[in-house]
Chain A
Amino acid sequence: MGSKDMTNRVEIAAGDRPVKEINRDIRSQVQAGKPIVVTNTMSRHNLGVGLPASADILFEGSVGYYCGGLNDGARIHVTRDCGWGVGEAMATGDITIDGYAGMSVGASMRGGTIHVKGDAGPRCGVAMKGGDIIVEGTIGYLSGFMAHAGRIIALGGANDAAADSLWGGEVWVAGPIGSLGVDSKIIEPAPTEVASVEKLLAQRGLDGPGRDWQKIVSAQRLWHFESRDARAWLMI
């Protein structure tokens, strides 16, 4: 979890400077081992891309697309909203968004944790291959689309076509589900799995009394070419 503590943070003002310059400033402070606060973020795209585990960054304001993309261990905290693809392809690390997140949160991420305090847009966790996405609000339509592994945990419900065409992985929803996506099914989670999810949430200060979990997994009918699945295929 990224800290909002401002003490000792080196300030980098984003503004309308070239993103190449802003990111070079960020990388050089990371190399110097300094925690960073980026101010006047102006929803700029591609801030804090491909950073290592030693990075600790607070973005004061909103950020654009691909913030924390290809993250390799950095702790990133955004105090307002973020655009598409936050934390896309993250290998490891921790990203917290205090506000809302746009489309494709954590697209194809392989590890680490993304925590969105507001709602997340469509295709949250699309093609993800590991790690955890926690959304305190609702997740948009087609969330978890063709995900391979990992967990998406939505506390405020899921929109239509939830967990569409999952290969693997899990979509946990506490709250209403608009509709299930193709080839997904709701199963009863084991108590140990519930405990693991609740523990993760508690670490984020999200411990709550007895949530009514719906765990969505792949129905595995689209894993293989079979003519008997023609109807399911035609739906895609």
Chain B
Amino acid sequence: MADDLKTPWEYPFESATEELIGFADGAIDGRPAGIPSSYDRGGSIRWTPESISEIHALSQLGRYQIRGFNTFNKSFPTLDDLVFVPATMTRLPLEGYRESCDTRTVLGDRPGLVEQPLELDIPIYIASMSFGALSAPAKAALGYGASKVGSMTCTGEGGMLEDERRASRTLVYQMTPSRYMLDLEHLRKANAIELVVGQGAKPGTGGLLLGMKVSDRVADMRSLPTGVDQRSTVRHPDFLGADDMQIKIEELREATDYQVPIFLKMGATRPRWDVAIAAKAGVDVIVVDGAEGGTGASPELLMDHTGIPTMSAIPAAREALEDCGKADEVKLVAAGGIRSGADAAKCLALGADAVMVGLGSMIALGCNSPRYLESYQTLGTSPGRCHHCHTGLCPVGVATQDPELESRVDVAAASERVARYLTAMTMEISLLAKSCGKSSVHNLEKEDLRALSTEASAFTGVKMAGIDKPFTW
């Protein structure tokens, strides 16, 4: 018996055909296994068509699934669980259509350290999304649209695109760990520099750009072979911890002669501690990107199972700045799943000084718009449901490097839509602020909010509606 155990183990099969592994026998044409729409709706809350399809996909691929967009985890709380409680008897509202409400937003105002703080007309700007993830016309349209309304954009990973620098009056230059095309001239042309230690959609991992989008131009900017599946580093090449980063920040200030603010972007995980450490390391602006944040491509499980909601991260980050005595010096930007002026206003009330919108601005460009339906059909999806940024086959030309597809972005029209979207969001924020009696959007506070669920109250410390007490532990 014991001898049997010593027999060398052998895999008894010849390699099966890919068709058989892919459930091709007896399958209906056009409805392969692994695609959720190939399954009828069952009753199990555990084994849903989605979870069955997921296992079929994993068992064919032998690796995790990758996609774009943002989390599909339905357990995330939403900012819809918070409502404003406008002025009634205890407070006086401002006239919505007659009295003014200041929306100007200053980031990096630190005399002695920053000669040229950023002065935006509105408290919203365009999130860091790379040229590579997005097409060049999309990047240009975001720049022109944001600049038209006194806002700004951020390069994202992959270097400074000339089209975007030309389009953007104010541009943040992002320094990710991969340092693609890091150039001193570009640093000095930027209005701010952002060190990235993580992003909300996939904290703790580096950038990902699949080969379909690594075109000659993208590859050239990133010094990569054309068409490789680019997985960027997650750790910076020349600093590890916060003490080293402090020296790195000084280097960046030296290289830019103390002209521009230094941002730090992090995925929201332990903001109460991470934000305090970043503030102590000396950055001027901290961007906390919640788990609802979007991405061009990510292992799906990271979007669905890592990071904490934006709503819960903002109050923790604000308290961290106050606790470490940096609230007056360091500005806080919130991001991750912000769709509308109402969402943005709630983020400001929870403690953010400004917000970033990524997917929202892409949707303004045309993402998921009901045009070019045959291109959606090729991807097996439809307008309103498309999340195929990772394929490079974006039906509307926003998240692609394909020359024919990207020509579907009309830069002038898309710029105008971005400008109008930001304007509308700002009007929404100031409408809410004025109803709460605030003459500046930055005066919105937690007291202006009430929670509709114990969960929202517990995450944020906002008082429960009616009972007027926060959930206590």
Contacts and interface: CB of A to CB of B under 8 A. Distances in A.
A70 B238 contact: no
Given A167-B228, A230-B63, A224 B211 contact: yes
Contacts of B255: 49-50, 69-70
Contacts of A225: 63, 66, 210, 229
A46 B238 contact: no
Interface stretch (A9-17, A54-62, A83-91): A83-91
B223 interface: yes
A19 interface: yes
Interface in A105-153: 107-108, 110, 123, 126-127, 129-130, 145-146, 148-149
Contact of A127 (B62, B63, B179): B179
A126 B177 CA distance: 11
B37 interface: no
A223 B225 contact: yes
Given A50-B184, A50-B255, A223 B247 contact: no
A108 B250 contact: no
B237 interface: yes
A19 B247 CA distance: 11
B91 to A, nearest CB: 47
Nearest to A86: B238
B183 interface: yes
A89 B184 contact: yes
A100 interface: no
Contacts of B61: 227
A107 B184 contact: no
Most buried by A among B61, B210, B251, B258: B251
A46 B238 CA distance: 13
A130 B225 CA distance: 14
A126 B229 CA distance: 19
A127 B230 CA distance: 13
Nearest to B211: A224
Report the contact-size class of chain A (Cβ under 8 Å from the partner): 35 or more
Given A88-B238, A127-B178, A167 B224 contact: yes
Given A85-B238, A108-B179, A225-B210, A129 B223 contact: yes
Contacts of A148: 222-224
A129 B185 CA distance: 17
Contacts of B83: none
B229 A104 contact: no
Interface in A198-236: 222-225, 227-228, 230, 233
Interface string A43-77: 00110011000000000000011100110100000
A230 B222 CA distance: 25
Given A50-B184, A70-B184, A127 B244 contact: no
A157 interface: no
Contact of B251 (A46, A110, A168, A233): A46
Contacts, number: 113
Interface in B208-259: 210-211, 222-225, 228-229, 231, 233, 237-239, 244, 247-248, 250-251, 253-256, 258
B187 interface: yes
B62 A227 contact: yes
Interface in B334-387: none
Given A168-B225, A223-B225, A69 B251 contact: yes
A104 B179 CA distance: 13
A50 B224 contact: no
Contacts of A149: 223
Contacts of A145: 233, 237
Contacts of B62: 227-228, 230
A23 interface: yes
Contacts of B211: 224
Nearest to A52: B184
A88 B252 CA distance: 12
B182 interface: yes
B224 A104 contact: no
Contacts of A130: 223
Given A127-B179, A223-B229, A49 B251 contact: yes
Nearest to B208: A225
B178 A66 contact: no
Contact of B238 (A19, A20, A72, A107): A107
Contacts of B183: 91, 110
A70 to B, nearest CB: 5
Given A46-B254, A103-B238, A127-B178, 5 more contacts: A46-B251, A65-B248, A84-B238, A108-B179, A224-B229
Interface of B: 61-63, 66, 177-185, 187, 210-211, 222-225, 228-229, 231, 233, 237-239, 244, 247-248, 250-251, 253-256, 258
- Report, nearest first, the 5 A-B pairs whose CB atoms are least far apart: A227-B62, A85-B238, A108-B179, A107-B237, A50-B255
13 contacts: A20-B254, A50-B256, A65-B247, A66-B238, A70-B182, A70-B255, A88-B237, A89-B179, A103-B238, A104-B237, A145-B233, A148-B222, A223-B225
